[in-house]
Amino acid sequence: MKNALIFDIDGTLWDATGPVSEAWDLVASKSKHHFHISQKQIFPCMGRPMSDFPKMLFPPMEKEEAESLLKESLEFENNYIYTHPGNLYEGVEETLKKLSKGFDLLILSNCQQGYIEAFLSASKLGYLFKNHICWGDNHKSKSENMLLLVEQGGYEKAMYVGDTLYDEEETHKAGFRFAFASYGFGQCMNPDYVLKKFSDLDKAAEDAFSE
């Protein structure tokens, strides 16, 4: 029976703040409010549920209008990412190839439906991952979806790899070990492992599953 390594995307596997901010800015600038969204504004949004974006990025507007603009922005972002990929962190593909020989690799993100598919296509890493789930699929928390992935795969053990305190809290809530991608966007309090670079995961995974 294989164990599972479950991955966040943004701030863990790649940095897509550039193309994401470009996509959102294109939609925002063409809206009736004609506002702009910068990469600096997108940065603190990464890893948060999509429902948090309007209050963080949009000027005051009616709820229905904000929801409509959010939907348009998310759909445009997905299409944009296919041809404007983020930057993979150093060593990601090589390390994932090595880890895939001993573990099933999965993705769990707080993103909208379609973003994981865009990531897998744009990064050309789709062949390495066995399964994925996101907030947009069922609006469940990361801990709930983590348990769902593990149940679906029948895994004995799992470890989550992410870059925010929310990732850490949700992983420990689900009862799994957490590897903190310290090169990413956030901070953590009590991770089980700290990755200074992505390739550090090789040793962390060996240690985590050797017990």
User: pLDDT digit string (tens) for 64-84?
Assistant: 999 999 999 999 999 999 999
The 10s digit of each residue's pLDDT in 192-206 is 999 999 999 999 999
Q: Is the pLDDT of residue 1 over 80?
A: no
Cβ–Cβ < 8 Å for 81, 17: no
Percent above pLDDT 70 for the chain? 100
The 10s digit of each residue's pLDDT in 115-135 is 999 999 999 999 999 999 999
Q: Is the pLDDT of residue 99 over 80?
A: yes
Rounded to two decimals, what is the model's pTM? 0.94
